[in-house]
Structure 1
């Protein structure tokens, strides 16, 4: 059973948009399969922030932990990272292969135009399609981002697995971040491939000798002079040299050129890859990343969405009892040990005091114990729904360090009792269950073992299940075993 301390501190480690992601996942689940039982989650939300959006997020946090959806989102994120890393590896290998294929093994001349086409052709085509995609709706965007989403879904398993990516896409689409998200991923992969190709070019050109030529049947040499100048003008502004016109005309594979001429072609080729390949992808990646980050800040809860609209009356009730409009009900008001009483309307009086509570103890068992220390609050014997709700409201507003729940060891634990214990356990830093008997007769040993088995199956540590001989009141008072 999860302690309240773990539940209240964990969400602070996650970015705000992940809390909205969890809320959207729960909204879709309830839309598909009906509302979840959320009495305790609603109680926690109503004791939290006053805004409806914040209360919806608190409710989603509690339901997500109970239903395991937060862990499902965590596993989906791990799968997303793994699929992205695999795609990055493929992009790097493809970049290395394209560079090696463009230059060859050095035994044959390198056709400069074919080399440029092999290194930048597919990149230029997809980059142009990405620019044209701005004329389309974001839902029609294509590219490596969609491939990443498809690959990520292959890692998801389970009946709720399909809800997680659908919730993420819904969230990003409403915030206007879908195009930026896919664009960031797509440009990341292209940038990795082009960077790998560039590094491979530098290594191969630095460690081997290559001869660059152009070849044509129809075009004139001056055409290649023009193409070389046109492609080399922008790189030249960044310091990449352009081969001289006479070197371009002489590179027709009819004569052997000096090494300096081949070096000029090498610098020109590198400059073309940097300026028309790496830099556009880098700029596009930065723009998409900034657009995604800005869009994440616009993520919010839309109360008009199906599933959220019905929560308004429950999370923001028009009339909510303050607890001071009527006298204390002596039959149902939680009591404090040693003659002290929790005043009506002051449930927060629990504060940081240790708390003792019993669940439906029969009248033949004397309660509370006569040796109850004065510093311990006694919430009484819970035997009605009203008492249980009042105590859970009180615990939700307090910071109870230790909670001791006494149960009749002679009774067989049922599902309702175990559920109540689990709900109370979530609201204290430490909780123990006291299998209470007046004299611990041997006839209760079998049912005591049943209690231990059921509580252990529910997630309670064996050491947190105690009996009279374990002196539970001493632990409740001091925290020492």
Structure 2
């Protein structure tokens, strides 16, 4: 489902399209948020919270969410009690057929778990089953004819139809199975504490050796985590038993029973539950800010209003002067080569060999491999980067993305030196102004090459 903040934001959108009268005027809140900082999502969340200043919308959403979770909790408790009582009824006799009890415990559960796994691998059930959506429909959980309640109900119903809800359904199904198996485990432990059982087995077709092999295979996994497993002699003595067995043998069988329930029932079901929870988080519904409603608000926030009567020409952006650090430098050319191999000496004022030893020449940054190699180097070495940019280079989006990436990984900062071009060349002047604007917006210092 949507997060609580996304739900509130979407509910405001629905109600505003229905001309609902809110506690606070949406237009006033939207205008006040225009000059506030934050990402579009953060500002939309802030807007919805301020519009719902009395908390009425949040209370309705919280009531529906609380009742859905309450029903799921009650069902889990009921399933746990059913597992406890079912096993309590099954273990009334003092002499228990071990394999019969084990099949009753894990037979149907294993079939259902394998079936779920097969359907998942076949990528079936992409949509939420209709019976689940109708079962937990908010219409059944909350009564109210006002527009807020109806809009909230419709919002939850739209979420239940989302494709990611199949994982929520799987998570809930595994939760009920875990509750049932936990109830069975509690019943077994309780009965083994207060009563003394003898375990037997009987078979028309299987020999003693076959049952010994079967028991050893069954007990391999529980024995890995410390549960006892009956030895060959105990298995043979337990055939067709009608009276009490030695206590040591009974304890071996009880250990195998508890271990099998844990390792073949609870643990696989818990893994399946965790997988569904992870997939539900990955496929979780997100707020669609591309909707015209949200785009209109975002565009309004990004719009700059200018009064024509007192309009003043804004000065051209100028990149800040570069602050050259005293430590080691890494120099590189962006995309274009340059005739002077020591192009960086004039900007860094390094003319002696000792200073040059503190400079690492990385060469030309051209493709993705060069960028990946540079980023890996910067993550390992705290250096200041001097990037040489030729007058032919355009400050387009791809080039600026490279610039931003280098700036974010350079621990001692990034500075830029513009190369080539003449002051008489109109094209070079225009290109120089474009780079000044780009560097100024990013607060990246410009090195003087004079």
TM-score (norm 1): 0.54
Q: Say yes or no: does 1:89 pair with 2:89.
A: no
Question: Which residue of the other structure, out of 155, 162, 167, is the alignment partner of 2:141?
Answer: 155
- 2:289 counterpart residue number: 303
Q: CA deviation at 1:272?
A: 0.3
Shift of 1:59: 4.6
Cα distance in 2 between the residues matched to 1:150 and 1:241: 44
Residue 236 of structure 1 is matched in structure 2 by 223
What's 2:346 paired with? none
SS in 2 for 1:190: helix
**1:124 maps onto 2:116 in alignment:** no
Question: Is residue 200 of structure 1 aligned with residue 183 of structure 2?
Answer: no
The secondary structure found in structure 1 opposite 2:142 is: coil
Inter-partner Cα distance in structure 2 for 1:55 and 1:137: 38
Does residue 1:43 correspond to 2:28, yes or no?
yes
Distance in 2, Cα, partners of 1:132 & 1:26: 41
Q: Does the 8 A contact of 1:46 with 1:316 survive in 2? A: no
Contact map agreement 1:45 1:58 (CA 8 A) in 2: no
Which of 310, 313, 321 in structure 1 is aligned with 2:296? Answer: 313
Question: What is the deviation of 1:162?
Answer: 6.5
User: 1:45 touches 1:315 (CA, 8 Å); kept in 2?
Assistant: no
Give the Cα separation in 1 of the matches to 2:138 and 2:93.
Answer: 37
Equivalent position SS for 2:79:
helix
Aligned to 2:176: 189
Question: Could you say if the C-alpha distance between residues 247 and 271 of structure 1 is closer, same or farther in structure 2, counting changes exceeding 3 Å?
Answer: same
Aligned partner of 1:274 in structure 2 is 262
Q: CA RMSD in A?
A: 3.7
1:214 to 177, 201, 205: 201
**Corresponding residue pairs, total:** 302
Find 2:155's aligned residue among 167, 170, 192.
167
Give the Å deviation of 1:154. 2.9
Cα distance in 2, alignment partners of residues 220 and 166 from structure 1: 63
CA contact (8 A) 1:52 1:312 kept: no
Q: Deviations over 1:375-428 (max 9, x none)?
A: xxxxxxxxxxxxxxxxxxxxxxxxxxxxxxxxxxxxxxxxxxxxxxxxxxxxxx
Matched, 1:111 2:94: no
Length-normalised TM-score, structure 2: 0.57
User: Structure 1 pair 35/56, CA: closer, same or farther in 2 (3 Å)?
Assistant: farther
Structure 2 unaligned regions, length at least 5? 311-450
Structure 1 unaligned regions, length at least 5: 1-14, 328-481
Matched, 1:17 2:3: yes
Preserved contact between residue 98 and residue 118 of structure 1 (Cα < 8 Å)? no
C-alpha distance in 2 between matches for 1:153 and 1:105: 47
Please give the alpha-carbon distance, in whole angstroms, between the structure 2 residues aligned to 1:224 and 1:153: 55
Hey, what's the Cα distance between the residues in 2 that align with 1:75 and 1:300? 21
Measured at CA, do residues 253 and 177 of structure 1 come closer, stay the same or move farther in structure 2, by a change above 3 Å? same
Measured against aligned partners, the alpha-carbon deviations of 1:202-232 in whole angstroms (never above 9, x if no partner) come to: 1211221112122333433333323222221
Check 1:81–1:313 CA distance in 2 against 1; reply closer, same or farther (3 A cut).
closer
Q: Secondary structure at the match of 1:86?
A: helix
Query: Where do residues 37-436 of structure 1 align in structure 2 (5 Å cutoff)?
Result: 40-48=25-33, 51-62=39-50, 68-106=56-94, 109-134=95-120, 135-140=122-127, 146=132, 150=136, 154-159=140-145, 164=152, 167-168=155-156, 170-171=158-159, 177-254=164-241, 256=243, 257-296=245-284, 300-304=286-290, 308-317=291-300, 320=303, 322=305, 324-326=307-309
Q: Partner of 1:47: helix, strand, or coil?
A: helix
**Aligned CA distance change for structure 1 residues 150 and 301 (closer, same or farther; 3 Å):** closer
